[in-house]
Amino acid sequence: MDIGAYRRYLEEFVLEALAHSDGTNAGISRYLWEKKVSGLWVRNRLEKQKALAEARSAFDEHRHWPIDIVISHLGISYKKQAKT
């Protein structure tokens, strides 16, 4: 398994879920569970599947944690944007 690709996909999935959900742990989890890694010619399928499973697991198991902590737990650097 390519750890670099796994880390990139994990960060991509989490940041995408943050951008396309309501911003709650439940909303992020729901978005991640709707996401699919499928197709015959998917590149780095194993890495994508493991990254998606890890992200789903983190947001499912730690729903009571603040989102910043869950993201940090996954090893992703993320700064919340100030709303203007």
pLDDT confidence of residue 84: 45
Q: Does the predicted TM-score (pTM) go above 0.85? A: no
Contact indicator for 48, 37 with CB cutoff of 8 Å? yes
Contact indicator for 14, 55 with CB cutoff of 8 Å? yes
pLDDT in tens, 24-82: 888 999 999 999 887 778 788 888 999 999 999 999 988 888 888 888 888 888 766 54
Q: Is the pLDDT of residue 23 over 60?
A: yes
Contact indicator for 55, 32 with CB cutoff of 8 Å? yes
pLDDT confidence of residue 62: 87
